[in-house]
Chain A
Amino acid sequence: MSLPASVPVIETEDLILRGYREQDFEAFARFAASDRARFVGGPRARYDSWRSFMAGIGHWSLRGYGMWMLEHRETSEAAGRVGVIYNDGWHEPELGWHIYDGFEGRGYAYQACRAARRHAAEHLGMNSIMSYIAPANTRSVRLAERLGCWHERDVELLGTPCQIWRHPSEQVSA
């Protein structure tokens, strides 16, 4: 069985968006255990990270889409994750991004989000997708603005206050 081979691969200038490999787990767990993960359900213990890593893969099998691992072309390291997540109890599928330590501030999230957003519009039938952002996550708000998103409304996400930011439509060729 080779599931990663079935996750569509998208290439950008600096990144390769691809499926998960077991060797990505260390970078995944480091991020999840860090304070950087505070807006995405962390920090998490290593055990919980393993569950969450496998859950990220299971999402692809259940939904037919999910988050890609971002492979940094130059170093082949895992630089983060970007993709479409639709968890139980959520309002609609969202475009999410996590950038790992050492890879932020270089425009990678922007680059990967543009590629994932285009893929979602062209291949998943999801145009003008949204992103959930925690109000205190100012870095993510800045990225959303740069991506052309607007603050559409405030919601509760499983009991926690959260903002929905709406992405502009991508031009999709017929």
Chain B
Amino acid sequence: MTHPTSFHETAPSGPTADLAARFQALIPVLETDRLILRAPRIEDFDGFATMVCGERGTYFGHPGTRADAWQGFMQITGTWALRGHGAWAVTDRATGTLLGFVQLGAEPGDLEPELGWIVSAEAEGKGIAHEAAEAVRAHALGAFALPSLVSYIDARNTRSCTLADRLGARRDPAAEAAIAGLQDDGEHCVVYRHQMPEGR
């Protein structure tokens, strides 16, 4: 995707950079074998917009325009301040390349905290989403001690359903019944419930 200006997508400088860095430092960094998950930064926006504006974003709020993607990007970042959980940028540990996003979301219409993921076309098929989502889930149910965690997935999104399965999450008919009346016409969302770790 090309875009006429790039200044607004470059990192802030001067005093604003300082405050942005302090906000971002509040968000924990998670590490896995191949990945580093960190706070979203302004430089990640172009990658985010590319992921969500195309076909890949059909099941990630399907923003129609780049301006909608911008609202979504700010939203998943802002979730941290209100909920104490939010989105991580998933990056390649060796190169720093942006590979995707995993979020502990509180979207309108959700009834409990949600684990969601999206990866770039280049990162697909390599187990990146699995590795990142597993790390976030461990943090959500461990350090963050969230009372419950589900993944809301469009029934047609078979790839994500498969991943939820691989993560050991199971369909929850009661939770699906609870959100049935909240969905837009034509929407069919399934709910996968993530298992609590031993002892919780």
**B81 touches which of A1, A50, A65 (Cβ 8 Å):** A1
The A contact surface, by secondary structure, is helix
B50 within 8 A of A: no
Q: What are the interface flags for B5-21 relative to A under an 8 Å C-beta threshold, 1 for contact and 0 otherwise? A: 10011001011111111
Closest B residue to A52 by beta carbon equals B71
**B66 touches which of A50, A55, A89 (Cβ 8 Å):** A89
| Alpha-carbon distance A20/B23, docked complex (angstroms) | 14
B173 within 8 A of A: no
- A6-B26, A47-B108, A64-B12 known; 20 other A-B pairs, CB under 8 Å? A3-B81, A22-B82, A51-B71, A51-B75, A52-B71, A54-B76, A55-B78, A58-B73, A58-B74, A58-B77, A59-B78, A60-B23, A62-B40, A63-B12, A63-B20, A63-B42, A86-B8, A88-B69, A89-B66, A123-B15
Please give the residue numbers on chain A whose beta carbons come within 8 Å of chain B beta carbons, in ascending order: 1, 3-4, 6, 19-20, 22, 46-48, 50-65, 86-90, 123-125, 158
B67-A87 in contact (CB<8A):
yes
Which interface class (under 10, 10 to 19, 20 to 34, 35 or more) fits B? 35 or more
| Alpha-carbon distance A22/B5, docked complex (angstroms) | 34
Please give the residue numbers on chain B whose beta carbons come within 8 Å of chain A beta carbons, in ascending order: 3, 5, 8-9, 12, 14-24, 26, 39-42, 45, 49, 66-67, 69-82, 84, 107-109
Q: Report, nearest first, the 7 A-B pairs whose CB atoms are least far apart.
A: A58-B78, A3-B81, A64-B20, A64-B16, A57-B78, A58-B77, A58-B74
